[in-house]
Amino acid sequence: MPATLSFCFLLFALIFTPAPVKGHYQVTSSGQPVVAAPGDDVILQCLVEPQLDMVDMTVEWSRPDAKRRPKGMEYVHLYRDNREVEDMKSSSYHNRTALFAGGLRHGNISLIVTNVTTADEGEYKCFIPKLQGNTKSSIVRLVVAQNSSKTITSETQLDPEAKGQNVLNGSVSCSSSFIPLIAIWVLLTFSA
């Protein structure tokens, strides 16, 4: 009986312990629009999950719904070779965007946009070109409302230095919500 119980516990631990498969990362955002009034500062949330040090990787923020200039790609924000690349940035975002420098180490690639205007309204794409995984980008929608009395940003911890804190509020992992139920089922099945 004790050997069976030990086997069940080991089997349970191996099957249900959340462990990311190396090389399978994804770029995520909350899916909710960010609502702001003109003049507000906003955070467009974008995270790499599971956490991955992004300091040495390229992070591209662009506007897929914006008109392109004839000579090529224009970015809202471009981080490459451990620095911001200003000469490929749209002039309308000059001195208005930043990444959380400390957050890059923990997969936080959220973009801070200061002094938003109605021209900033639309879709923003965060993209990691060399990310090992199926989902290399995510879209965040910014809504700029003239009569917005309260700025609503996507819900992420704003302290990018806090390890393990860059999680979406209200999200529940499927495996974590079923663990107690499965544990009881396994124990009842194998103890009989």
Concatenate the DSSP letters of all residues of 13-72 into one string: HHHHS--PPTT--EEE--SSPEEE-TT--EEE--EEES----TTS-EEEE-TTSPPBTTB
Cβ atoms within 10 A of the Cβ of 52, count? 19
pLDDT at 65: 81
Q: Which of 14-18, 36-40, 183-187 has the lowest mean pLDDT?
A: 14-18
What confidence tens digit (pLDDT) does each residue in 102-151 have?
A: 999 999 999 999 999 999 999 999 999 999 888 999 999 999 998 765 54
What confidence tens digit (pLDDT) does each residue in 157-168 have?
A: 344 343 333 332
CATH architecture of 34-144: Sandwich (2.60)
Angstrom distance (rounded) from CA 33 to CA 43: 11
Please give the model's pTM, rounded to 2 decimal places: 0.65
Domain boundaries, the chain: 34-144
What 3-state class would DSSP assign to 156? coil
Name every residue whose Cβ is closer than 8 Å to that of residue 65 and which is 6 or more positions away in sequence.
122, 123
What confidence tens digit (pLDDT) does each residue in 22-71 have?
A: 568 999 999 899 999 999 999 999 999 999 999 999 999 999 987 665 55
